[in-house]
């Protein structure tokens, strides 16, 4: 048997058993894609991250890959946060102020701040969704009058495409009961990673928004706290002119409460000379450290 280290980390929380759990395998150099997929299925969390030596070593400290129980994911925010936490707390990188990770979608810079670990997002992109509002509402299990029609349903990207659905109240967000079979089919047809419900009725002190995230197309019915989707949401809010674009702007998003795993995503939109920079992040807690035994 080959033995490899594996960690279970709760991301976007400072309290164990909150936030979003991810698996982290810090040495995956000798693992095939097939074996990584099998490990992710066995771990059975929304994502497991695998660290490898980067061939682009002059620009990146590591290569990172992500697998859900069913397939490889191009980018995953909470697993990136969890992996960086393990590097800093378990693997001797606590003297570093930043770590750069090579992903399938490009280089992601991770840095330490007073808010915890922050990750710089890719520049956001928006596009229209080829589905009418009535169909979207049916897919997510809500009513038309639940939708906050001050804002548009759109697709947003900072590494994965997410369908963003504005909702009037937290009560409606928590009441949503998606038709997972049809939502999965819809998202696969439209190259959508997750469907992300958001409301400004957060009812959480210090939080601007409250969200829920559904990802049946990648084998996850509901993700507790979603880094990539909330990063895409930040880009949407900025590009749609919903949050200020003339100054730096920071806020917090609450997610996971419906699943009993409350988490908090810190968002920073920083103005630059040429374009804004988008960062998301938070804290993390290691709950399991163990050994995975793999047949040779």
* 205 Cβ neighbours under 8 A, 6+ residues apart: none
Going by pLDDT thresholds of 50, 70 and 90, the confidence category of residue 274 is confident
Comparing 294 with 183, the larger pLDDT belongs to 183
What confidence score (pLDDT) does residue 115 get?
66
For residues 167-180, give the mean pLDDT: 98
What confidence score (pLDDT) does residue 114 get?
61
Residue 147 CA, distance from chain mean position? 23
Report the chain's mean pLDDT, rounded to a whole number.
95
Comparing 128 with 219, the larger pLDDT belongs to 128
What confidence score (pLDDT) does residue 94 get?
86
For residues 71-86, give the mean pLDDT: 95
Whether 47 is catalytic: yes
Q: Is 128:155 a contact under the CB 8 Å cutoff?
A: yes
What confidence score (pLDDT) does residue 137 get?
98
pLDDT of 188 strictly over 70: yes
Catalytic residue among 47, 102, 222, 268: 47
pLDDT of 251 strictly over 90: yes
What confidence score (pLDDT) does residue 219 get?
87
Residue 73 CA, distance from chain mean position? 11
* Pick from 172, 234, 231: nearest CA to 197: 172
Domains of the chain plus CATH, in order, are 2-121+283-294 (3.10.310.10), 125-271 (3.10.310.10)
Q: Is 208 exposed, middle or buried (0-12, 13-18, 19+ CB in 10 A)?
A: middle
* 80 Cβ neighbours under 8 A, 6+ residues apart: 49, 64, 101, 103, 108, 110, 119, 227
Going by pLDDT thresholds of 50, 70 and 90, the confidence category of residue 296 is confident
pLDDT of 1 strictly over 90: no
* Pick from 89, 14, 102: nearest CA to 58: 102
Give the span between the Cα atoms of 228 and 249, in whole angstroms: 19
Q: Is 98 exposed, middle or buried (0-12, 13-18, 19+ CB in 10 A)?
A: middle
pLDDT of 50 strictly over 70: yes
How far, in Å, are 121, 270, 271 from residue 246 at the CA level? 19, 10, 7
* Pick from 168, 164, 165, 176: nearest CA to 146: 168
Tell me the residue ranges of DSSP E strands in 71-178.
72-73, 98-103, 106-113, 116-120, 125-127, 154-157, 161-166
Going by pLDDT thresholds of 50, 70 and 90, the confidence category of residue 112 is confident
Q: Is 287:7 a contact under the CB 8 Å cutoff?
A: no
């Amino acid at each position: 048997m080959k033995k490899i280290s594996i960690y279970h980390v709760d991301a976007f929380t400072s309290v164990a058993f909150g936030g979003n759990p991810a698996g982290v395998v810090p040495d995956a150099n000798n693992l095939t894609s097939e074996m990584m997929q099998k490990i992710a299925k066995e771990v059975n969390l929304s994502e497991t991250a695998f660290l490898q030596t980067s061939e682009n070593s002059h620009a990146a400290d590591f290569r990172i890959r992500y697998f859900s129980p069913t397939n490889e994911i191009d980018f995953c925010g909470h697993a990136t946060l969890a992996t960086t936490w393990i590097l800093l707390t378990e693997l001797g990188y606590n003297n570093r102020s930043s770590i750069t990770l090579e992903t399938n979608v490009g280089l992601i810079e991770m840095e330490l701040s007073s808010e915890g670990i922050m990750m710089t997002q890719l520049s956001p992109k928006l596009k229209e969704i080829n589905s009418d509002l009535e169909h979207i509402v049916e897919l997510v299990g809500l009513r038309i009058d639940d939708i906050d029609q001050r804002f548009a349903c759109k697709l947003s990207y900072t590494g994965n495409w997410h369908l963003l659905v504005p909702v009037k109240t937290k009560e409606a967000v928590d009441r949503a009961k998606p038709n997972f079979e049809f939502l999965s089919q819809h998202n696969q047809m439209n190259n959508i990673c997750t469907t992300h419900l958001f409301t400004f009725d957060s009812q959480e002190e210090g939080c601007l928004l409250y969200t829920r995230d559904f990802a049946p197309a990648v084998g996850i019915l509901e993700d507790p706290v979603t880094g990539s989707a909330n990063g895409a949401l930040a880009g949407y809010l900025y590009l749609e002119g919903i949050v200020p674009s003339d100054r730096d702007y920071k806020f917090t998003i609450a997610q996971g409460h419906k699943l009993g795993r409350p988490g908090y995503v810190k968002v920073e939109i920083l103005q630059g000379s040429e374009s804004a920079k988008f960062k998301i992040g938070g804290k993390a807690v290691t709950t399991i450290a163990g050994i995975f035994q793999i047949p040779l």
